[in-house]
Amino acid sequence: MTSYVTWANKGGIGKSTLSFQLALKYARLNTNKKVIIIDMSPQCDVSRMLLGGGHFNGEQKILDRMTSNPRLTIYRYLEACVNDVPSGRGWPDSLSYLIEPNSFRDENAEKLPDNISMVCGDFDLERVTHSLDNLPQPQPRGGRVPSGAHYSAYLLPRTFLRKMVEDFEREYRDVTIFIDTDPYYSVVTTHLGLLAADRLISAYSPSSQASQYAVYRSLEFLYDPNYGLVQEVNTQRAIYGTPWFDSLNNIITTPNISVANLYMVVSNMNTPQAGRGQPPYSQPQKLHRQSQQEVISRINDTLSSLGIAHDYVHDYLWDLKRLGLICDYNGFDLATIQLGENYAEPSDDGNYYVNTTGGTPIQLSSYNARIETVTSKL
């Protein structure tokens, strides 16, 4: 059982597409495992794709989940935690928020792997951040027989998503969980994702220095012993020791939380180049290869300064270009695309034919091979 959080402290580098493609490829490579995707981004891009993409009204299906009774989204789960855990009503049932995307996708949409489940995102997710950030800090327990609530108002909300992850791990014998996040570090829901997963997948673009700098900065945000998230968690633990109590004087059983370990860094959206005497798609273009080497060097320097071993994986993916747009719009992964077939796309004619000749066959096979190579390392 393993859990991954995909986080890049910079938007626009294909993070949610990466989460979606990796999770579905992982599900195809591991048909005996349960694969769960939790959408912790208020943009809900992963949920939109899982529920059918733009062509099959994925956004409307998110809205349908938001207006259903009960509201089966991550927003409602977190809201229930805020309202019920400190007050003594207990933890919400995590399993009740788990849905099967194939049950909600349009009948004409391509079917996703049967072992995929999801916790749907919610466009209102940012509404709950105020409640998570402003949970009242209880007064110290006093009296001859101490009573009343006792917990860290900072740490308790940050255990909520980890509780859901552990509930899923208890329910399913062999499960792998993928969490997609908001790019902004200062948002509490991002913290929940980073503290809920075992392993961190970060990403950058070889053409964007800003996204590369964001990787180095994110490592400091997470692991710096003086001001990083790891320091915040340790400080709060020291101040507010366990056991914790709710307002009814019941012990609150919370999961242990820790910052996800850096496991993989992906150079995303690379341009291919044929090496001398080699076929197309044998390597990224020279400038992108140089960028990757520079990023690896800077990551290693940053990790060394933080006292962390260099035991992460670095790999790369191609820029999916038009085929990536087709996947996004139709709500399926690259493995679904077949040569000689027509697929909807958001263009004037609304149709894209996947050629069986020219460069398309090797392009499609190379894209799939690269994603499989990266996914096989998870």
* 98, two tokens: 């788990």
Residue 143 has pLDDT above 80, yes or no: no
Provide the token pair at 350.
Answer: 């609304």
| 88 neighbors 148 (Cβ within 8 angstroms) | no
Element (H, E) at 227: none
Pairing between β-strand 261-270 and β-strand 175-181 as defined by DSSP bridges? unpaired
CA angle at 262 for the pair 256 and 267, rounded to the nearest 5°: 145
Report the residue count for the chain. 378
All residues at 6 or more sequence positions from 97 whose CB lies less than 8 Å from its CB, including other chains: 72, 73, 74, 76, 77, 119, 120, 164
Residue 273 predicted with pLDDT over 90 = no
End-to-end CA separation in angstroms for the chain = 11
- Count Cβ atoms below 10 Å from residue 229 Cβ, excluding itself: 20
| Sheet with strand 116-119: strands edge to edge | 116-119, 34-40, 175-181, 2-6, 199-204, 261-270, 313-318
Phi, psi values for residue 179, rounded to 5°: -120, 125
Token pair in block for residue 44: 């809900």
Cα separation, 249 vs 87, in Å, equals 9
Nearest by Cα to 177 from 333, 1, 44: 1
H or E element at residue 155: helix 155-158
Q: How confident is the model at residue 144 (pLDDT cuts 50, 70, 90)?
A: confident
Cα–Cα separations (whole angstroms), residue 54 to 42, 48, 100, 220: 17, 7, 19, 37
- Map 19-63 to HEC letters: HHHHHHHHHHHCCCCEEEEEEECCCCHHHHHHCCCCCCCHHHHHH
Q: In this structure, are residues 295 and 267 in contact, taking their beta carbons and an 8 Å threshold?
A: yes
pLDDT in tens, 167-196: 999 999 899 999 999 999 989 999 999 999
10 Å CB burial of residue 298 (0-12, 13-18, 19+) is middle
- Which structure tokens are listed for 137? 């800090």
**Angle in degrees, CA 120, 123, 127, rounded to 5:** 110
User: Is pLDDT above 80 for 274?
Assistant: no
The candidate with the shortest Cα–Cα distance to 126, out of 38, 42, 11, is 42
pLDDT, average across residues 138-161: 92
Q: Token pair 């009343």 is at which residue?
A: 148
User: CB of 1 within 8 A of CB of 142?
Assistant: no
- Summary mean pLDDT of the chain: 96
pLDDT in tens, 257-268: 999 999 999 999
Helical H runs in 71-112? 74-84
pLDDT of residue 249: 95
Q: How many CB atoms lie within 10 A of CB 67?
A: 9
Residue whose tokens read 């915040």: 232
Whether 277 has a pLDDT exceeding 80, the answer reads no
Instruction: State residue 275's pLDDT score.
Output: 73
Do the beta carbons of residue 10 and residue 210 sit within 8 Å? yes
Strand partners, 40: 181
Q: What is the DSSP string of 193-207?
A: HHHH-SEEEEEE-TT
Domains of the chain as residue ranges with CATH: 2-375 (3.40.50.300)
Residue 279 confidence (pLDDT): 83
Q: pLDDT digit string (tens) for 54-87?
A: 999 999 999 999 999 999 999 999 999 999 999 9
